[in-house]
Structure formats: C-alpha cells, structure tokens
Chains A and B, each alone.
Chain A
Amino acid sequence: MTSDRDKMGKAALSKITRYQIMELDTCSHCALCTETCPAYDISRNPLHAPGVRSAKAVKLYDKKFSLLARVLGEKKITDQDVVDLSESAYHCSLCGRCRETCPFGFQTHQLWVKVREIVNELGGNPENVIRLGKLIGENMNPYGLEPDTRLDWADYTDLEDPPKKDKADIAYFVGCTTAYKGANHEVAFSVSSILNYLGEDWTLLGEDEWCCGNPSLISGDEHTAKVFAEHNVEALESRGVKKVITSCAGCFRVIKFEYPILLGRKPSFEVVHVVEYLRDKLSEGALQARLTDASVIYHDPCELSRLGGVIEAPREALAKLASNVLEFDERGLDVRCCGGGGLLQAVDNGMRLAIVKKRLDEAKEKGADVLVSACPACKLAFVDGVREYKTGIEVLDILELAARQLGLL
C-alpha cells in the first residue's frame, strides 16, 4: 500500500527538472567537490559531502522512477531516507562552490534547493527551519519581530527623516538581516546617507517591505516565496520605482534572478547591488572619498559573486576607498564561504562558526586590519566569529567603509 509520504515524495521528486535529473545521472561521485566544500571541511561527515547528497537524491528518485521501479514496483521511502537527505541538505551553506569544482559544472545551487524542496515535502525540515517558516508567515521576516519595527534601525542610527514616498525613482530594499540585526544597522544608515548625499529621489518601503523570500525558497517553500515576491514587486512597481538598490547579497540574487522565475515575468525595475551603485558613483567622481591607510581585505559574498556574478565592482570601489587592499587566496568565483548562508545558523551554528573561523584566520594571516564584505549575513557571521574567537580584526560592510571615508559615518 502506498503511504501518504510515498505519494508526497513521488510528487516532490517529480519536480526534479530535466537538467537536474540529467546531472544526477551524470554525477560520477568522484568527490572532487568534497575537497572544497566548507561544510564537509568542518564536519568530515560523509552525509555533508555534495557528491553523497547527489547519490542520496538519485537513489531516492530511482525508488520511484527507475526502470526497475516501473517494472517491479516502486520502493518505499523510509524514515532513514528522509533523515539522511535532510541532514545532508541542511548541512550546506548553499554557497555553490561545488559547481566551481565539479568537472561537469553542475548547477548545484539549484539542485540543492530542489533537494530541500523534496525534504520539505517529505516533512523532513529541521525544527528550527520549520519555526523560521512560521515566523516569516506571521511577521514577514525571519526574526519574529513586529513588521512595524522594520524601520527602527533609522531611530537607532539617528537617520533623519527616512523617506517613505508614494513615488520615487530609486527604492532601497533594506532586507531583514540589515533592518533587524543591530550589527547591520549602520549599513542601512550608510546606504541612506550616501543616497541623501547624492540627492537621489529615493524611498524606503517601511512596513511594505517584506522578506525577499530567500529563506522560504531555500527551505523548500516556493509557494511562500512566490507570495512574498508578488507583494514586494507590487509595492515597488506601484511606487514607479525604476531602480531597486539593495545592500543584501541574498535579496539581490533573489530579486534579480529568482523573482522573474517565481512571477513568470520580469519586473519593471532594474535591480542592482549597492556596491555596483557605489562603484559607479566613485568612478564618475560623484563621490570622492579619502583613502584609508588600514589594510583592508575583501570577502566575496557567495550570493553576490559566485551566484550573482558581481566580482569586479566591489574591488573597483575598494580601490577608491583604501590604499592597501588585500585579497584572500580563495576569492571571486572560487570564494570560500563564510558559513553565513543557507540557513546554517538556524540548523548548526557550531558549524557556521567553525567555517567563519577559517576565513578570519586567513584574514589575520594576510595582515588585514579590516575585513570588508558586502552582505549582512556575511557581516553577521564575521562579527559572531570575531566575538567567539576574539580575533582582533574590524568587520565592516563596504558601504560602512565608504560612508566613513566620505565623512558620513
């Protein structure tokens, strides 16, 4: 007799796309991706290796869709199948580095998100991820804070008259991790100050800004992500916004690349990460900053660089902000993740902190005084890491550094 789980599992597995099943069939389980996986590097647990995840996923698929399953009957999805797949899928920061190591260049980020969708359908999401989903549903943000406190960061940072206009050319999409996490409030202040300094016609969405949908999407809840995408796009388009600027790498990737898929159409506005805007304004000479003497090292956020394609802009901006810019050995497309993504903090914060330690240690070895990134989740991970390991290094978002060098912060 087919159980409900088998029915739901089969329905979820049937959503694996054409290229994805081809990738799973092609994967030779060579383990070359394992060597560079930041999660496996810490845990040494085979379940956390990307290639093992691929093997588990194709085995599950074959239980329902292989030739043998069609001829001899489908096999049952067991408790252990779900537990193993969940353990594997959520001990991953979704940094996508396995794509850059895979000899075939599989689109692993999409593949692992699909695996999480299957885990979710099978009821295998970790407890904290389920809790997070509820918080998002109730408060429109994953931190469980009231929606009407979304602009509190402006009070805390003494930003005067945060704009909430009905019509504007530019909207600053702050993002939940910037709006609700104290460590990032000055990032929002810096972006706002620069927009004000340049006299832009810009606005915030305030309560009308909902979570971008990234946490829902990467916990396998595409439906909620779509509802949030529809709301945010409506809020932006109704204000006649031509350009959306965000300081969050996750929001940037989702609004720019996932919203058109979720909505089935391209929104009417352009989406840029604030670092691209900053680079343009510094290059044009609209912003003229003092160069800092401090040794600054730049960490590429995975969602901005490897998954978002923005690699040179932050470097070009930094060249106009600091005289001594250092580089990590693993950077750009090959950046080693800080551990801040993929909901790893909710699932295994110990692993997240162990991953960030590697990055902090390298920054110290390189002689950096300041570690700069362009993502609130990265900043949060680094700030937590510095506190945990007492690493004497200052952590800043690139916009904070810019605002400081412009005399705005």
Chain B
Amino acid sequence: MSGLLPLLYAFFVEKLPYVTVVVFSIGMALKLHRWLSAPREPTTPKLNIISSLKYIFLDVVLFRKTFERDKATWLVLFLFHGCIAGILFGHMRGFYLWSASLFYPLGHWFTDFMVHTLPIYVGWVFIITQILLLARRHRLEGNQLTSITTDYVTLVLLLATSIVGQGMRIFPPEAIPAEVYDIVFIPGFIMLHLEAVPSYHWFHIHVLMTQLLVMYAPFSKLIHTISGVISPAIYGSWRKQYDI
C-alpha cells in the first residue's frame, strides 16, 4: 500500500489520540464549568447512599421505569445498553485489562465462545437496536418529541462506529504490517494488542470513528453516561427522605 493512505492511517493511530484526549478533556472541563457556574439548588434531599445506589441500580442499570411502562422499548433499550457494556468489556481485553484466561476454568469451548463467537452476535444486536432506536425517534419526531441536533449526531456516529467495527470482524483479514498487531496510541498510556488481524481499512476507520465519538461525547447526549447517575441518586435520596 502506498500513497496518502498509510500516512493518514498512521495519523489516526499515532497523532489523533493526543488530539482526542485534549478535546475530550477540554470538553469535559467546559461541561463541568457550564454546570458548576449555574447557581446551586436552594435545597437538595439529604444524601442517602443506600437509597441512591438502589435507584441507580434499578433505574439506570435495569431501566425499571421503562420496564413498567413499555416492555418493547425496554427490551431494545436494555439490549442496546447491555451491548455497550459487553463491547466495552471486550475492548478492555485488547487494552491488556483482562485476558482470555479469565474463562479458562470454564473450558476451551466456553472461552472460545466468549472471546470469538459472542462478540459477533453482540455486534449485530448492537447495530439492530441502534437502528430500532433511530427508527423509533424518527417515528415520534414532531409528534411526541423534538430532537436537537446532537440527539441524531450521537446516534448516527455511534451506529457508523459500530458498523465499521463489525465490518472489521466479518470482512476477511488483509495483509497488514506486523507492527499493527501491537498498536501504541499513546506510549505508556494507551496500547492495543490485536490477537486476530482485522481488516486493515475497516480497522483504521473504526479507530477514527471511535475517537470522533470520544471527542464529541462531552458536547453530546453521551454525557448522560456520566450525568445520568446523578439524577437517580438524588431521586433515591428524595424517596428515602419522604419515606416512600
């Protein structure tokens, strides 16, 4: 492979991560500044850690309220978020945070299933649930909801990232330089080990998309991954205070 592409791919892996970390950090700082510069609440319920954790678990992890109202939407939401958790966990293996040996006590077949087979199914479910959520948003748009730009940008960016990521798995591997097996994004900080050689182009586009997603997170609805636990915590403390 010659021309501009190798340079571009090298940029995605070697330089862009620095930009990503800087943009993400600045974005988070700006978001925190936006929140913290607003006036404090005149009163907040007295924090009750157990009740707060209870409602974080029930409402954020299990989507209790959605389950009680709308089982179909709950199923899609639960699978969608479950897939994200699974995919993030799977990626951690590439970043040396765990290894396949975790599953060895459960046998060879199970280890192979967890490490190689299941991620492909999870990838498909993730893509399907995103399409369903986009379709739902489109169906309700203008009737029950008014999306703001970031609602769609976030979903589309996430969908594109996951499609490319899945493509990386299903398209046949290509001959790629040996150094790609161990990718150093930021020396001593972010390093990725690839066990199986992915499709070279899909891999690099996935790297680009993922970084765009990370950079966009503080400015988008993805911020709810952080702020989304605070409201249920307040809600939980409020319920305890009212003895409900």
A residues contacting B by CB (< 8 A) are: 14-23, 25-26, 28-32, 34-36, 40, 44, 46, 49, 51-52, 55-56, 58-59, 65, 67, 99-107, 260-261, 308-309, 311, 333
| A59 adjacent to B234 (CB under 8 Å) | no
- Complex CA gap A55/B77 in Å reads 21
Interface: B34 (CB within 8 A): yes
Given A31-B145, A35-B69, A51-B145, also A67-B30 (CB < 8 A) = yes
Given A261-B42, A311-B244, also A28-B144 (CB < 8 A) = no
| A25 adjacent to B223 (CB under 8 Å) | yes
Within 35-61 of B, Cβ neighbours of A (below 8 Å) are at: 35-36, 38-44, 55, 59-60
A31-B144, A59-B148, A100-B65 are known contacts; what are 13 more A-B pairs with Cβ within 8 Å? Answer: A18-B36, A18-B38, A18-B40, A19-B41, A28-B151, A29-B151, A32-B65, A51-B144, A51-B146, A103-B66, A105-B231, A105-B236, A311-B244
Task: For the complex formed, measure the closest distance between the CB of A32 and the CB atoms of chain B, giving whole angstroms.
Answer: 6
| B34 adjacent to A21 (CB under 8 Å) | yes
Given A32-B70, A103-B66, A309-B244, also A46-B146 (CB < 8 A) = yes
Q: CB-CB < 8 A to A23: which residues of B?
A: 231
15 A-B pairs, CB-CB below 8 angstroms?
Answer: A18-B36, A20-B41, A21-B35, A22-B35, A22-B231, A26-B223, A26-B227, A26-B228, A46-B143, A46-B144, A103-B59, A103-B65, A104-B224, A261-B42, A308-B242
Interface: B63 (CB within 8 A): yes
Q: CB-CB < 8 A to A36: which residues of B?
A: 69
Task: For the complex formed, measure the closest distance between the CB of B160 and the CB atoms of chain A, giving whole angstroms.
Answer: 19
Interface: B75 (CB within 8 A): no
- For A260, the closest partner residue in chain B by CB is B43
- Complex CA gap A49/B148 in Å reads 15
Interface: B142 (CB within 8 A): yes
- Complex CA gap A333/B238 in Å reads 13
| A35 adjacent to B70 (CB under 8 Å) | yes
Task: For the complex formed, measure the closest distance between the CB of A310 and the CB atoms of chain B, giving whole angstroms.
Answer: 9
Given A26-B223, A44-B143, A52-B145, also A65-B65 (CB < 8 A) = no
| B69 adjacent to A34 (CB under 8 Å) | no
- Complex CA gap A352/B151 in Å reads 33
Q: CB-CB < 8 A to A51: which residues of B?
A: 144-146
| B231 adjacent to A26 (CB under 8 Å) | yes
- For B143, the closest partner residue in chain A by CB is A46
| A20 adjacent to B143 (CB under 8 Å) | no
- For B223, the closest partner residue in chain A by CB is A25
Q: CB-CB < 8 A to B31: which residues of A?
A: 25
- For B133, the closest partner residue in chain A by CB is A30
| A22 adjacent to B230 (CB under 8 Å) | yes
Q: CB-CB < 8 A to B234: which residues of A?
A: 19, 105, 107
Given A52-B146, A102-B65, A104-B228, also A28-B221 (CB < 8 A) = yes
| B65 adjacent to A261 (CB under 8 Å) | no
- Complex CA gap A31/B30 in Å reads 28
